Amino acid sequence: MYTQAMDVGPKEERKALRSAEEAQLEQRFDERIDAGGLIEAKDWMPDHYRKTLVRQISQHAHSEIVGMLPEGNWVTRAPTLKRKTILLAKIQDEAGHGLYLYSAAETLGVSRDELLAALHSGKAKYSSIFNYPTLTWADVGVIGWLVDGAAIMNQVPLTRCSYAPYARAMVRICREESFHQRQGFDALNVMMREGTPAQRDMVQDAVNRWWWPSLMMFGPPDAESVHGTQSTRWGIKRISNDDLRQKFIDATAQQADVLGVSLPDPLLKWNEARGHYDFGPIDWAEFWRVVGGHGACNQERLAARVKAWDDGAWVREAALAHARKQHTKEQAA
């Protein structure tokens, strides 16, 4: 899973360069980026590049971690043992993705504790898609199909990101993400093919609720994107929000036909001249409302993370105390 909120953050003014030496370093850095070069953790990088990446990678990590919560809601109520084991494996993957990404962010000189503190205080964002509730079992399938589908669209270009530790984490994540999307489609497909009318309605209802939030995952329109231009300049962002969104809609509209569900957009229509689907206006006011903390589950999600962290404190402390004790014993021996 993944974040759109990467494009959402406080607007930071770029500081004026301090010295001629720094200007030269930055010029060399820009040339390297232009030549398609990759940046490693210990390489010189502009302060703003570092900050942008810390924000983006940590928001991405937070999204993976928070993303476990809507699905976790259905672990004990999955309809069969097969679906339950699949769901557990998927949720474990999300935890893994969060951990790869936290590690990548830490290579930039920020600590895990600082990153988590920023999430827990509400300072750092995570993808607003996870602030929507999972009301039925069909939501779990739709999250796989649409939410993870949108995530894959977003994440594949990140495997070519100029910051190599992030790009490497993304390669690993993308490889695993495909399972997430396919299992979601499969779960829905079974309900549509073999289910009762009520189950089919349930699938349609879930699609209706998740369609627009999924489109919002690609972030604000290019014209309004705060960080887009600079991120593109630096090779962090390779494809624009609007282009990715269009690509997702084109792919998904056909999958919806195969599944036998309709997408809740009366203006959705194939445009032969453009070679793309046209689609209706997105309610950006809703997007900003949810990003701003007023979605259905913002408080619940954050509270669950803070509680897990606080409740786990004694385990972290005990493990560390044990390690120190063993270490002292070995020293003495």
Partner 1 sequence: MNTPTAKNEWPLWEVFVRPKAGLEHKHCGSLHAPDAKMALQMAREVYARRQEGTSIWVLPSSQITASDPGDKDMYFDPMEDKVYRHPTFYELPQAVDHM
First CA to last CA distance, the chain: 48
Site for partner 1 in 287-326 (CB under 8 A): 316-317, 319-320, 322-324, 326
Alpha helices in the chain, H assignment, sequence order: 20-34, 47-66, 68-72, 81-106, 112-120, 137-142, 148-155, 164-194, 197-216, 228-233, 241-259, 284-289, 298-311, 313-332
CB of 206 to partner 1, least distance (A): 28
Residue 40 near residue 258 (C-beta atoms within 8 A) = no
**Of residues 269 and 324, the one with the C-beta less far from partner 1:** 324
**Of residues 307 and 324, the one with the C-beta less far from partner 1:** 324
Residue 228 near residue 237 (C-beta atoms within 8 A) = yes
**Of residues 22 and 283, the one with the C-beta less far from partner 1:** 22
Residue 28 near residue 85 (C-beta atoms within 8 A) = no
Residue with tokens 């820009």: 30
**Among 169, 191, 215, 291, interactor with partner 1 by CB under 8 A:** 169
Q: Helix, strand or coil for residue 163?
A: strand
**Of residues 105 and 216, the one with the C-beta less far from partner 1:** 105
Residue with tokens 């084991």: 85
Distance between CA atoms of 313 and 27, rounded to whole angstroms? Answer: 45
Distance between CA atoms of 249 and 252, rounded to whole angstroms? Answer: 5
**Of residues 90 and 305, the one with the C-beta less far from partner 1:** 90
**Among 11, 223, 330, 332, interactor with partner 1 by CB under 8 A:** 330
**Of residues 32 and 247, the one with the C-beta less far from partner 1:** 32
**Among 29, 49, 74, 100, interactor with partner 1 by CB under 8 A:** 100
**Among 26, 176, 242, 243, interactor with partner 1 by CB under 8 A:** 176
CB of 148 to partner 1, least distance (A): 17
Distance between CA atoms of 115 and 127, rounded to whole angstroms? Answer: 15
Alpha helices in 195-282, H assignment, sequence order: 197-216, 228-233, 241-259
CB of 61 to partner 1, least distance (A): 13
Output the CA–CA distances (angstroms, integers) from residue 125 to 95, 119, 130, in the order listed: 17, 7, 11
Of 52-60, 106-114, 134-142, 227-235: span binding partner 1 (CB under 8 A):
106-114
Spatial CB neighbours of 24, under 8 Å, sequence gap ≥ 6 = none
DSSP 13: P
CB of 49 to partner 1, least distance (A): 15
Q: Amino acid identity, residue 108?
A: L
Q: Does the footprint of partner 1 cover residue 111 (CB under 8 A)?
A: yes
Per-residue binding letters, 16-55, with partner 1 (x by CB under 8 A): ------------------------x-xxx-----------
Q: Does the footprint of partner 1 cover residue 11 (CB under 8 A)?
A: no
Q: How many helices (H) and strands (E) does the chain have?
A: 14, 2
**Among 17, 75, 88, 99, interactor with partner 1 by CB under 8 A:** 99
Site for partner 1 in 67-96 (CB under 8 A): 89, 92-93, 96
Residue 155 near residue 314 (C-beta atoms within 8 A) = no
Give the number of residues in contact with partner 1, rule: CB under 8 A.
29
Chain contacts with partner 1 (rule: CB under 8 A): 40, 42-44, 89, 92-93, 96, 99-100, 103, 106, 111-113, 168-169, 172, 176, 316-317, 319-320, 322-324, 326-327, 330
